[in-house]
């Protein structure tokens, strides 16, 4: 006989770990106990050597799907003569972050019960268990107990209570446990907020509306969605008009994989993302949906149902539905019924809600396979708030406020970084309010008290101003980190890279050290600092922000840089003679025409030059459409030249002027960018590269860079768990504090 004492750390609380151990211990006839501690799970087991080996093996192999064991420590002790295996009372105190978990898609067992007429939860929209259901969006404070969630107002019925106390079942300590007798129920409202129906009638009412081509505002896990028939062009158009969203693609929810396969051919990798417990929106090649779902694009954002309510709705509909965030353009996602009436009442024909509160907003996450790697483009529901691990230990507790667009903030302590849910573009007052509210909320939840504040170098970012004010009020030191350095650091940090790398940070816009707009950067980087090794030759953004919306202005600017105003070749960019005159003059005088080195703008300029897109109806559209055209059949590239400090695009643009085929042009251009990275990497002489910035969401580009460089022995790191875009900046800002002094 032997006795083992086992300490487990990681995601081991609130995911059904204790009932799982209880089950295998009883199975094997092993005595002992298990309990939650302040830092994980502690268990002791007693039995003969062979049985204990089997126990450990099964522990590893069969552990609950949502659990993750980060560390395991085993001590051998003298036998204590345990009888049965028991679950003991939890220890109090300690690290409060440990049981803070993400919201998780309905599990297979719950789904089976949902559609089983003999089950007491048959067709019940709020069923859940320790393997699935809401977490992050219902918890008010820690520890994660029912009384500390928005389920506190529901009193469990005797049956639910029995399940809750039964250590052998999957609802043991399932905090949101509920059934039709005692749990939340559906309520259907008119767009003015009048109650129309409840429970099954509410569901039926919404279904009838959707079948008739209507728009339904549906309360989800972290906020509202707006739904309509994704095959009905009229409904989708109407939704676009009412929501004020011109061209940005809508996500589409499919009933199941079978339905999805009628509209797309996902790869095995994409299927495992689509069906993962996180259930993100996955960007895949699609077909056959209403054209206005994703105008001009072959790629669609697809996802599968992740709440019982989604399953119930979609089971009754003969078509997939557009399921886009319930907000007005540029605003945060709507969270409760009153807000829905106020903000979505003019868009939706009815509002399907329920009487459980959403404690905090959490948008859908977005994932895309980029360069062969599943890459999170928006890290939110399903992933947040699990911490990311740093390669080194932080000396201080760090609050990093992130960037301006696609904002997230981050809290770092020890080796952990808690990245916030997606906040959004800090362009509206509402989003700025939600930023502050979410920041204090997460600090409070984690009991986090920052010792240093980090922000972007940009003097006019809302986040910079906020950080300056906050640091001043609290008397904390403030560190400002250059935007593209933060991009590179976030890629280094999430890949556990230490030492020095060549960072390739390509994006739309970031504030440069010299006050100009950067965005096509090659930075020799470590955690302590960077050297701007090379960058794209600068060009003027005619009209500043207007050039961001009108890539045709960038195309014109590039040509003006090459030919000058007098020798400008005849071109078609959709400008009248008068506009051409005014724009050329602004360019010549440098009036509201700042210099930039942005790779993102360059891509958009090329897109305009090729006649793909002159005007963006959403951020980066021209570049996305260019990416969509890539054809791997074309292997060649354009000439380019790499100088001491700059990479010159002039030979590329000259060659592009001769190009007649936009598909070949787009492909050759992206191939050229990959060749440029290779040339610069060879000159820099560092073996490791980190690719970051919004441009590195471009799948063919990243694939081409990776193929080309790995063949030459370089090691190419890209993003996976953290967005390459500005949603990842806050992690990079935290990582900056890992290096006090740079060796560069």
Contact residue for Fe ion among 587, 726, 728, 737 (CB under 5 A): 726
User: What is the smallest separation between the CB atom of 726 and Fe ion, expressed in angstroms?
Assistant: 4
Residue count of the chain: 744
Looking at the DSSP assignment, which residues form a beta bridge with residue 595?
A: 540
Phi, psi of 647 (to 5 degrees): -105, 125
Residue showing tokens 């990842």: 728
Instruction: Pick the stretch among 181-189, 206-214, 234-242, 375-383 that binds Zn ion (CB under 5 A).
Output: 181-189
| Backbone CA torsion sign across 291, 294, 295, 298 | negative
Task: Specify the residue, 231 or 517, whose C-beta has the smaller distance to Fe ion.
Answer: 517
Task: Specify the residue, 176 or 205, whose C-beta has the smaller distance to Zn ion.
Answer: 176
Token pair recorded at residue 27: 């199975």
Q: Among Fe ion, Zn ion, none, what binds residue 450 when CB lies within 5 to 8 Å by partner kind?
A: none
Task: Specify the residue, 160 or 274, whose C-beta has the smaller distance to Zn ion.
Answer: 160
Contact residue for Zn ion among 15, 132, 215, 302 (CB under 5 A): 132
Q: Does 559 bind Zn ion (CB under 5 A)?
A: no
Relative orientation angle of helices 621-629 and 599-609, to the nearest 10 degrees: 70
- Alpha-helix residue ranges (DSSP H) falling in 370-528: 429-446, 462-474, 483-494
Phi, psi of 557 (to 5 degrees): -60, -45
User: What is the smallest separation between the CB atom of 722 and Fe ion, expressed in angstroms?
Assistant: 13
Which stretch of DSSP H or E encloses residue 368?
strand 366-370
Q: Among Zn ion, Fe ion, none, what binds residue 507 when CB lies within 5 to 8 Å by partner kind?
A: Fe ion
CA gap 227, 565 in Å, rounded:
50
How do beta strands 299-303 and 281-285 pair?
antiparallel
Contact residue for Zn ion among 110, 231, 313, 559 (CB under 5 A): 110
CA gap 246, 22 in Å, rounded:
54
Q: Does 526 bind Fe ion (CB under 5 A)?
A: no
Which stretch of DSSP H or E encloses residue 113?
helix 108-114
Contact residue for Zn ion among 28, 38, 142, 157 (CB under 5 A): 157
Contact, 421 vs 431, CB < 8 A? Answer: no
User: What is the smallest separation between the CB atom of 174 and Zn ion, expressed in angstroms?
Assistant: 8
Instruction: Pick the stretch among 100-108, 259-267, 276-284, 639-647 that binds Zn ion (CB under 5 A).
Output: 100-108
Closest CA to 526 of 686, 711, 369: 686
Q: Does 107 bind Zn ion (CB under 5 A)?
A: yes
- DSSP letter assigned to residue 727: G
Contact residue for Zn ion among 28, 182, 568, 663 (CB under 5 A): 182
CA gap 550, 543 in Å, rounded:
10
User: What is the smallest separation between the CB atom of 541 and Fe ion, expressed in angstroms?
Assistant: 15
- Could you say which residues in the range 552-611 bind Fe ion, by CB under 5 A? none
Task: Specify the residue, 131 or 398, whose C-beta has the smaller distance to Zn ion.
Answer: 131
Task: Specify the residue, 53 or 513, whose C-beta has the smaller distance to Fe ion.
Answer: 513
Q: Does 521 bind Fe ion (CB under 5 A)?
A: no
Residue showing tokens 């005619």: 542
Q: Does 507 bind Fe ion (CB under 5 A)?
A: yes
Q: Among Zn ion, Fe ion, none, what binds residue 704 when CB lies within 5 to 8 Å by partner kind?
A: none
Q: Does 131 bind Zn ion (CB under 5 A)?
A: yes
- DSSP letter assigned to residue 684: H
Size of the site for Fe ion (CB under 5 A): 3
Q: Among Zn ion, Fe ion, none, what binds residue 153 when CB lies within 5 to 8 Å by partner kind?
A: none
Contact residue for Zn ion among 80, 181, 257, 531 (CB under 5 A): 181
Contact, 382 vs 280, CB < 8 A? Answer: yes
Interface residues with Zn ion (CB under 5 A) are 107, 110, 129, 131-132, 157, 160, 179, 181-182
Interface residues with Fe ion (CB under 5 A) are 507, 510, 726
């Amino acid at each position: 006989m032997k006795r083992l004492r086992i300490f487990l750390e990681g995601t081991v609380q609130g995911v059904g770990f204790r009932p799982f151990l209880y089950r295998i211990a009883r199975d094997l006839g092993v005595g002992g106990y298990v309990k939650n501690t302040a830092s994980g799970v502690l268990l002791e087991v007693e039995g003969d050597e062979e049985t204990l080996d089997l126990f450990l093996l099964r522990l590893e192999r069969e552990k609950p799907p949502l659990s993750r064991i980060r560390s395991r420590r085993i001590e051998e002790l003298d036998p204590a003569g345990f009888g049965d295996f028991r679950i003991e009372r939890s220890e109090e105190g300690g690290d409060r972050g440990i049981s803070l978990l993400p919201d998780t898609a309905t599990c297979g067992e719950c789904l089976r019960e949902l559609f089983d007429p003999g089950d007491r939860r048959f067709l019940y929209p709020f069923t859940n268990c320790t393997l699935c259901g809401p977490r992050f969006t219902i918890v008010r404070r820690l520890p994660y107990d029912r009384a500390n969630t928005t389920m506190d107002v529901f009193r469990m019925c005797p049956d639910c209570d029995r399940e809750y106390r039964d250590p052998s079942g999957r609802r043991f300590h399932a905090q949101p446990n509920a059934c039709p007798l005692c749990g939340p129920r559906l309520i259907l409202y008119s767009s003015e907020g009048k109650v129309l129906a409840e429970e099954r009638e509410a569901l039926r009412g919404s279904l009838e509306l959707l079948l008739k081509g209507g728009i339904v505002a549906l309360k989800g896990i972290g906020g509202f969605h707006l739904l309509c028939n994704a095959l009905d062009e009229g409904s989708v158009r109407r939704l676009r008009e009412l929501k004020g969203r011109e061209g940005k693609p809508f996500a589409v929810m499919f009933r199941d994989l079978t339905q999805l396969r009628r509209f797309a051919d996902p790869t095995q990798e994409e299927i495992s993302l689509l069906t993962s417990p996180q259930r993100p929106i996955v960007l895949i090649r699609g077909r056959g949906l209403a054209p206005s779902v994703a105008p001009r694009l072959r790629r669609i954002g697809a996802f599968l149902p992740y709440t019982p309510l989604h399953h119930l709705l979609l089971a009754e509909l003969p078509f997939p539905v557009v399921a886009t965030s319930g907000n007005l353009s540029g605003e945060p996602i709507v969270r409760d019924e009153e807000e829905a009436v106020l903000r979505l009442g003019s868009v939706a024909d009815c509002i399907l809600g329920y009487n459980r509160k959403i404690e905090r907003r959490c948008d859908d996450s977005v994932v895309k396979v980029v360069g062969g790697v599943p890459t999170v483009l928006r890290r939110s529901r399903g992933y947040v708030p699990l911490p990311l691990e740093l390669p080194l230990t932080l000396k201080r507790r760090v609050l990093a406020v992130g960037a301006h667009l696609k904002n997230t903030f981050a809290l770092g302590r020890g080796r952990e970084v808690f990245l916030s849910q997606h906040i959004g573009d800090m362009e509206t007052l509402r989003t700025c309010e939600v930023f502050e509210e979410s920041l204090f909320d997460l600090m409070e939840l984690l009991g986090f008290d920052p010792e240093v504040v980090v922000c972007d170098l940009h003097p006019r970012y809302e986040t910079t101003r906020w950080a300056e004010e906050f640091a001043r009020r609290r008397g904390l030191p403030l560190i400002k980190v250059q935007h593209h350095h933060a991009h590179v650091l976030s890629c280094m940090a999430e890949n556990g890279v230490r030492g020095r790398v060549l960072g390739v940070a390509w994006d739309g816009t970031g504030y440069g050290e010299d006050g100009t707009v950067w965005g096509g950067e090659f930075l020799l980087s470590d955690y302590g600092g960077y050297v701007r090794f090379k960058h794209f030759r600068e060009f003027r953004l005619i009209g500043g922000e207007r050039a961001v919306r009108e890539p045709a202005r960038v195309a014109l600017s590039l040509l003006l840089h090459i030919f000058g105003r007098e020798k400008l070749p005849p071109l078609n960019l959709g400008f009248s003679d008068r506009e051409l005159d005014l724009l050329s003059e602004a360019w010549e005088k440098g009036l509201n025409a700042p210099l930039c080195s942005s790779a993102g703008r360059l891509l958009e300029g090329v897109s305009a030059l090729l006649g793909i897109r002159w005007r963006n109806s959403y951020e980066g559209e021209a570049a996305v459409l260019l990416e969509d055209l890539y054809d791997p059949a074309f292997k060649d590239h354009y000439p380019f030249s790499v100088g001491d400090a700059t990479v010159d695009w002039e030979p590329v643009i000259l060659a592009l002027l001769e190009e007649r085929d936009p598909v070949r042009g787009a492909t050759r251009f992206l191939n050229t960018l990959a060749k440029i990275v290779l040339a610069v990497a060879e000159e820099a002489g560092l073996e490791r590269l980190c690719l970051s910035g919004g441009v590195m969401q471009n799948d063919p580009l990243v694939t081409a860079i990776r193929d080309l460089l790995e063949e030459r022995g370089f090691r190419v790191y890209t993003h996976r768990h953290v967005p390459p875009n500005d949603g990842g900046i806050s992690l990079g800002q935290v990582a900056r504090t890992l290096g006090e002094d740079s060796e560069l």
